[in-house]
Amino acid sequence: MIREVSAVRADACGRRQWFLAFAVLTLALAASSARSEELHLLVNGKAIHLEKQQQVDYNESNWGGGLQYDWVTRRAPWVPYATAAGFNDSNRNPSYYAGGGLLRRYYFRAGDTRLRVDVGAVGFVMVREDYKNGDPFLGVLPAISLGTDKVAVNMTYIPRVDPKMVPLLFFQLKLKLSNF
């Protein structure tokens, strides 16, 4: 039994390493043709669980990091993007994802500040230690980003996925990398 558990953990660790290598390669290829104003550092940091289960202490400080590359054109309101990141999930386990999506960009002003709201979706492949035995799985979630050209907050809603999970809001800080 102990050998079986060790083998499963080693296999899951190997899948995560391959997945992480795939995610880094995907973003590196996207960024190779990128201009610096389109590459962003993601700082994962907050989850707000909308329901609570008795005797469960959810981790709401989901620290981690990643990258997002936006293909921005001056005239088109649609922004395709690629993203990959890792973070500590609600159960304090490492989680990793890579994917991409499409956002509709809207600009508006608040005084002298030009703000933007991006609304769309993200499709991804993810690995989580405590979900589907650590095997990669696919997902699609709504995505919203609010901020300026230099700094924004990315947000998504994650519905109840499994009877032991609760719906939540997930937040990331998105920082433009001017020179990389």
Strands 64-70 and 39-49: antiparallel
Q: For 114-135, what is the mean pLDDT? A: 91
- Would you say 47 and 62 are in contact if contact means Cβ atoms under 8 Å apart? yes
Domains defined along the chain, listed by start: 2-176 (2.40.160.20)
Task: Give kind and range of the element (H or E) at residue 138.
Answer: strand 137-147
pLDDT digits (tens, 9 = 90+) for 46-56: 999 998 888 88
**Model confidence band, residue 131 (pLDDT cutoffs 50, 70, 90):** confident
Q: CA 36 to CA 146: how far, in whole Å?
A: 20
pLDDT tens-digit profile of 92-108? Answer: 989 999 999 999 999 99
